[in-house]
A = this chain, B = another copy of it.
């Protein structure tokens, strides 16, 4: 599945975080791909250093030395742009299968932690607010930020169940939320730090919880 095929308000089937598509018949002056790359990296840079609110279309345009309209040609709004930038940087999430539930989970949760240390962590609060008023964007973000990780972790549990390491009747959705929810919770509310130790500790607790 490639990115970049979600038109302004026209979702086809699966919600996606994407750019406005360029025409397909190949006529006319082609898009300057450099602009896409520069804009995305400028957004990530501003996110890191000053947070979501500091990202403005005008500011990004000036930063990359382009016209505001060139940005609106690609993304219908600021929230789409930020979502796209963050998802692009997150990249794919390979579903690890180490044969050990503990290692599978530590891997998945570890990459989550790493992601939260970057622009995603800075952007998340703003994106969550945008999700609350744009259900289509909400679908996209749930799909591209949450779903892939959840699938791989769910699979890890399934494998562990067949190996007999985990009770067969666990509520996987709830367990996944207990496993990852605390990271989202902490990054959004800032009441406690997110550490590497937290990763091993929470996995330890989850394992104890789901043991037969």
Contacts and interface: CB of A to CB of B under 8 A. Distances in A.
A183 B125 CA distance: 16
A126 B127 CA distance: 10
Interface string A5-36: 00000000000000000000000000000000
Most central of A133, A141, A184, A191 by chain B CB within 10 Å = A191
Contacts of A192: 173, 177
Given A182-B174, A184-B185, A202-B174, A132 B51 contact: yes
A177 B173 contact: no
A133 B53 contact: yes
29 contacts: A52-B132, A52-B133, A53-B129, A53-B133, A122-B132, A125-B129, A125-B131, A125-B132, A128-B189, A131-B189, A131-B190, A142-B189, A142-B190, A146-B189, A173-B192, A174-B198, A175-B205, A177-B185, A177-B186, A177-B192, A178-B178, A178-B182, A178-B205, A181-B182, A181-B184, A181-B185, A184-B184, A184-B189, A209-B209
Interface of A: 51-53, 122, 125-126, 128-129, 131-133, 138, 141-142, 146, 150, 171, 173-175, 177-178, 180-186, 188-192, 198, 201-202, 205-206, 208-209
